[in-house]
Amino acid sequence: MVHQNAAESPVPDHRALGRELGLFHIPPLAQGQVFWEPPGLIVLRELEGFVSRLVGDHGYREVRSPLLWRDELWQRSGHAEKFDGLYRVDGGLAMKPVACPAHCAYYLRRPRALAELPLRLAELGCCHRNEQSGELQGLLRLRGFVQDDAHIFAAPQQSASEIAGCLRLAEAVYRHFGLVPDYELSLRPAVRYGADELWDEAEADLRGAIAEAGLAAAEQPGEGAFYGPKIDLHVRDALGRRWQLGTIQIDYVLPERFDLRYRGAGQTDAGRPVMIHRALLGALERFLAVFLEHCDGLLPLWLSPAQVRVLPIGASERPAADGLDRRLRDAGIRSAVVLDGPLAGRIRQAEADRVPYQLIVGRREAADGRAVVRRSRAAGGQVVMNAVDAVHQLAGEAAAGRRLG
């Protein structure tokens, strides 16, 4: 299954890639939710690890909030009234569609001081939204998904620098994946909470941050969230369609509805924090759908479920290939030895399976402790390397991909 673009040339479809590579499927009896198969779960776990390391490196504290909350939380946040798609269950409970009210409840667990701010909370949160069945579309639109949610509670004087920092981080993250986002400033909707003065201030804050970061953003009147305006990050898929992935939002409304405060010196009340909502990749499933199509399933080394295939030319080279495979595995590389069939066929199969590297071991290489290093779809052919150096180089490439440079 492939899409057709305007020129009628085939482009990859993430659902077809998911089936072909054994990454995931969406069971008919669990419509709108993903069943991650073993290779796909490796990809998802690697992406979650990337996000977790990223937020740790940038001063966030990770939390995990409950999936079910009593209706009082959604009444207080306004989601019960303003948010379409809230999943309700028996007993006056609803499944969380977003993590922001839960993070407000965490903020309220004890008095907060100005010295604690900005308080940056991050969560790889499992969210559920009751989307209409006709709107479901593979990984691009689901009822259940994982979002790289984060919320920053900042003093008003800190908010501009925090938003600018979120924009800089977003630019770096998308560049890391070879993606180019465009930005959209979504302004106050007709149905909203909060006084116009708060919305004036919030929209001015976002315009200032966009200007400070040297970015351009098309303004979209009426497209903001009910609690605040937002900067949405869009990426085009293989058909040229724009999908929102990340978002940066400023919110004066939820801190007011939850009566969030912080204290200054001498434990006196110093004011109300500003809340910044920030998702970089957004829903990980949607991000993976776009990214799988972007790279036609050939993921970067660190993210690929099968990273290296070791190909001995014949049975006599098998012991050397097994030794190389052990070195790779000891270095944390997902490797396998494949001997069945002619070498050319095994190379073609590795390409079809989107395995980033093939390490070929012939008679000379086995004798000299070397390997022919071949990269899938790479120009420039292949190179013969010392096996120890090849393992070191591949381990370094994988490690570099797992962290933002």
According to DSSP H, which parts of 66-195 are helical?
A: 71-77, 79-82, 100-107, 159-176
Active-site position among 112, 129, 278, 374: 129
Reduce the DSSP state of residue 331 to 3 states and report it: coil
Which tokens hold the place of 40? 């796909």
- Looking only at the bridges linking them, the beta strands covering 357-361 and 274-279 are unpaired
Residue 151 bears catalytic tag? yes
Number of C-beta neighbours around residue 187 at 10 A: 17
Across-strand partners of 183? 217, 233
Across-strand partners of 128? 144
Beta-carbon contacts of residue 204 (< 8 Å; ≥ 6 apart): none
* CA nearest neighbour of 326 among 338, 313, 336, 311: 336
Active-site position among 13, 96, 147, 278: 147
SS (H, E, C) 261-288: CEECHHHCEEECCEEEEEECCCEHHHHH
At 246, the amino acid letter reads G
Across-strand partners of 122? 62, 150
Number of C-beta neighbours around residue 346 at 10 A: 19
Active-site position among 15, 79, 96, 100: 100
Active-site position among 148, 149, 205, 232: 149
Residue 221 is given by DSSP the state: T
Residue 166 bears catalytic tag? no
Helix axes 38-57, 284-294, angle to 10 degrees: 110
- Unique residue bearing structure tokens 């994946």: 177
At 113, the amino acid letter reads A
Q: What's the rounded Cα separation, in Å, for the pair 253 and 189?
A: 14
Beta-carbon contacts of residue 146 (< 8 Å; ≥ 6 apart): 44, 48, 124, 125, 126, 127, 283, 284, 285
Which tokens hold the place of 392? 């070191």
Q: What's the rounded Cα separation, in Å, for the pair 399 and 405?
A: 10
Residue 207 bears catalytic tag? no
Q: What's the rounded Cα separation, in Å, for the pair 208 and 219?
A: 13
Q: Which active-site residues does the annotation give? A: 100, 129, 147, 149, 151, 230, 277
